[in-house]
């Protein structure tokens, strides 16, 4: 056993989060793609079976009241809230991330002071965010200004209505300065909108503490909600009375069953609802969140940084020199919970890794991406992944 293998074993033995791995359905594969799709918590199938057979099969329509279906979007939002540093009553679950980005961006322009006609968007954003923001801008008469997050302070001005940024860059794993950028946006009189897809469940966010206005995020990555599980929308309490959703659906009406032709918005984050909730996927998500009971996000962050540090050390020790170049920042304050490595033959390398039981993913054209989910990834996983990567890159081309 190598020194690194021995260290991995010792680190796993000392890891306070290690027992959580048993809560998930996992095999001998090293699964480092939880930043795309989280692993399945073991108890979720039984919960879904109960929903299918009893709540839907027996109670049928009665389950909207008797099984709590109707209030699920707010109830589950309150369970996500502490993970992202929000008080109860500010998060509603439902729709996709893309739909919630649209709601948030348009609502942000309506919250902004009169006369502002620019929306600043992360130039390296996940593509959908840019597509949605561009459409929102066309519909509202605003102009999109793509800008790198580091350049946001210099791009802000009296015309800036809103700024849409990703907390963690999905390609490189770079963590943006949410507190500092939010404060800078506010100093310019604009509204800050954050996409938390690659940070929620991996590191502290502090939505309330840092004064974020609006935020969106998915639940199928670090929150393990399942493929296509519903996203969420955060509306800071101070904005809720005037939050004006561009999608005023019937379930966000103050009296949804009155079925009146005129729209009167409900109070609170409920205004972020649109149509009938996706109950099966929503209740799977609710069950998945049980794995967070008693887990502090600070402990998750500490393990995330230790895992990614150790993986980078193993890569440096094992992988032939010059074959990969880390693009994820080394500084802890600038790193999310993934490691991205630039590799000339990244496509074949990732295929070979997966064939050998190490699952990461490829970001074309040349980035190998490895996500570290602290609830179920261990240090032995990190060491093995680096060792197999070294073998793959040392092997002659086929």
- 95 catalytic? Reply is no
Half-sphere exposure of 4 (CA within 13 A, CB side): 20
Residue from 164, 232, 162 nearest 197 by CA:
232
Burial status of residue 32 (CB atoms within 10 A of its CB: 0-12, 13-18, 19 or more): buried
- 369 catalytic? Reply is yes
- 303 catalytic? Reply is no
The yes-or-no verdict on residue 302 having pLDDT over 60 is: yes
User: What integer is the mean pLDDT of 375-395?
Assistant: 97
User: What integer is the mean pLDDT of 263-268?
Assistant: 97
- pLDDT (0 to 100) of residue 134: 96
Query: Do residues 176 and 204 make contact, with C-beta atoms less than 8 angstroms apart?
Result: no
Tokens read off for 134: 């561009």
Tell me how far the alpha carbon of residue 372 is from its chain's centroid.
13
- pLDDT (0 to 100) of residue 126: 87
- Predicted confidence band of residue 150 (pLDDT cuts 50, 70, 90): very high
Per DSSP, which regions of 186-245 are E strands?
191-195, 214-217, 232-235
Query: Do residues 225 and 291 make contact, with C-beta atoms less than 8 angstroms apart?
Result: no
- pLDDT (0 to 100) of residue 1: 72
User: What integer is the mean pLDDT of 34-41?
Assistant: 98
Query: Do residues 7 and 335 make contact, with C-beta atoms less than 8 angstroms apart?
Result: no
- 221 catalytic? Reply is yes
Residue from 191, 202, 282 nearest 36 by CA:
202
- Predicted confidence band of residue 397 (pLDDT cuts 50, 70, 90): low
The yes-or-no verdict on residue 295 having pLDDT over 70 is: yes
* Dihedral angle, C-alpha 243, 248, 254, 260, nearest 10 °: 150
What is the C-alpha to C-alpha distance for residues 285 and 103, in angstroms, rounded to an integer? Answer: 22
The yes-or-no verdict on residue 145 having pLDDT over 60 is: yes
From the candidates 95, 122, 169, 195, give the one annotated as an active-site residue. 195
From the candidates 24, 31, 102, 220, give the one annotated as an active-site residue. 220
Q: Torsions phi, psi of 308, nearest 5?
A: -70, -35
- 126 catalytic? Reply is yes
Burial status of residue 110 (CB atoms within 10 A of its CB: 0-12, 13-18, 19 or more): middle
The yes-or-no verdict on residue 364 having pLDDT over 90 is: yes
The yes-or-no verdict on residue 166 having pLDDT over 60 is: yes
Q: Torsions phi, psi of 371, nearest 5?
A: -100, 135
User: What integer is the mean pLDDT of 345-363?
Assistant: 97
- Predicted confidence band of residue 285 (pLDDT cuts 50, 70, 90): very high
- Predicted confidence band of residue 124 (pLDDT cuts 50, 70, 90): confident
For 15-27, write each residue's pLDDT tens digit: 999 999 999 999 9
From the candidates 116, 221, 271, 335, give the one annotated as an active-site residue. 221
The yes-or-no verdict on residue 125 having pLDDT over 90 is: no
The pTM of the full predicted model, rounded to 2 decimals, is 0.97
What is the C-alpha to C-alpha distance for residues 218 and 201, in angstroms, rounded to an integer? Answer: 10
Residue from 254, 241, 171, 179 nearest 212 by CA:
179
The yes-or-no verdict on residue 398 having pLDDT over 60 is: no
Average pLDDT, the chain: 97
- pLDDT (0 to 100) of residue 395: 81
Residue from 217, 228, 237 nearest 93 by CA:
217
Query: Do residues 126 and 84 make contact, with C-beta atoms less than 8 angstroms apart?
Result: no
Percent of the chain predicted with pLDDT > 90: 98
From the candidates 116, 174, 303, 369, give the one annotated as an active-site residue. 369
For 195-247, write each residue's pLDDT tens digit: 999 999 999 999 999 999 999 999 999 999 999 999 999 999 999 999 999 99
From the candidates 31, 126, 372, 376, give the one annotated as an active-site residue. 126
User: What integer is the mean pLDDT of 254-275?
Assistant: 96
Residue from 341, 348, 360 nearest 392 by CA:
348
User: What integer is the mean pLDDT of 68-73?
Assistant: 98
- pLDDT (0 to 100) of residue 283: 98
């Amino acid at each position: 056993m190598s020194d690194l293998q021995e260290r991995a074993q010792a680190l796993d033995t000392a890891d306070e989060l290690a027992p959580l791995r048993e809560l998930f359905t996992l095999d001998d594969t090293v699964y480092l793609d939880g930043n795309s799709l989280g692993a399945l918590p073991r108890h979720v199938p039984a919960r879904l079976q109960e929903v299918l057979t009893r709540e839907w099969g027996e109670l049928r329509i009665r389950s909207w009241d008797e099984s709590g279906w109707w209030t699920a979007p707010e109830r589950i939002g309150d369970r996500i809230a502490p993970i992202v540093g929000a008080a109860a009553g500010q998060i509603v679950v439902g729709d996709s991330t893309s739909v919630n980005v649209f709601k948030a961006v348009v609502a942000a322009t309506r919250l902004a002071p009169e006369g502002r006609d620019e929306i600043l968007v992360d130039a390296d954003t996940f593509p959908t965010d840019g597509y949605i923001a561009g459409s929102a801008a066309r519909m509202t008469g605003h102009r999109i200004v793509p800008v790198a997050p580091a350049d946001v302070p210099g791009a802000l001005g009296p015309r800036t209505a809103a700024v849409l940024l990703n907390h963690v860059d999905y390609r490189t794993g770079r963590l943006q300065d949410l507190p500092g950028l939010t404060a800078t946006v506010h100093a310019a009189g604009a509204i800050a909108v954050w996409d938390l897809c690659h940070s929620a469940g991996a590191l502290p966010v502090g939505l309330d503490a840092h004064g974020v206005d609006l935020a969106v995020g998915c639940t199928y990555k670090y929150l393990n909600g399942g493929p296509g599980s519903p996203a969420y929308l955060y509306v800071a309490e101070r904005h809720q009375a005037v939050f004006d959703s561009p999608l005023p659906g019937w379930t966000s009406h103050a009296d949804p069953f009155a079925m009146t032709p005129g729209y009167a918005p409900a109070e609170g984050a409920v205004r972020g609802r649109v149509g009938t909730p996706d109950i099966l996927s929503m209740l799977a998500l609710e069950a998945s969140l049980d794995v967070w009971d008693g887990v502090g996000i600070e402990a998750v962050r500490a393990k995330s940084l230790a895992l990614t540090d150790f993986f980078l050390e193993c890569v440096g020790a094992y992988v032939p020199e010059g074959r990969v170049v880390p693009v994820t920042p080394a500084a802890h304050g600038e790193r999310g919970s993934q490691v991205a490595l630039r590799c000339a033959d990244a496509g074949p390398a990732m295929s070979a890794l997966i064939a050998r039981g190490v699952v990461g993913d490829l970001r074309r054209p040349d980035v190998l991406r490895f996500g570290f989910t602290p609830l179920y990834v261990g240090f032995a996983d990190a060491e093995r992944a680096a060792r197999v990567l070294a073998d793959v890159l040392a092997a002659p081309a086929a």
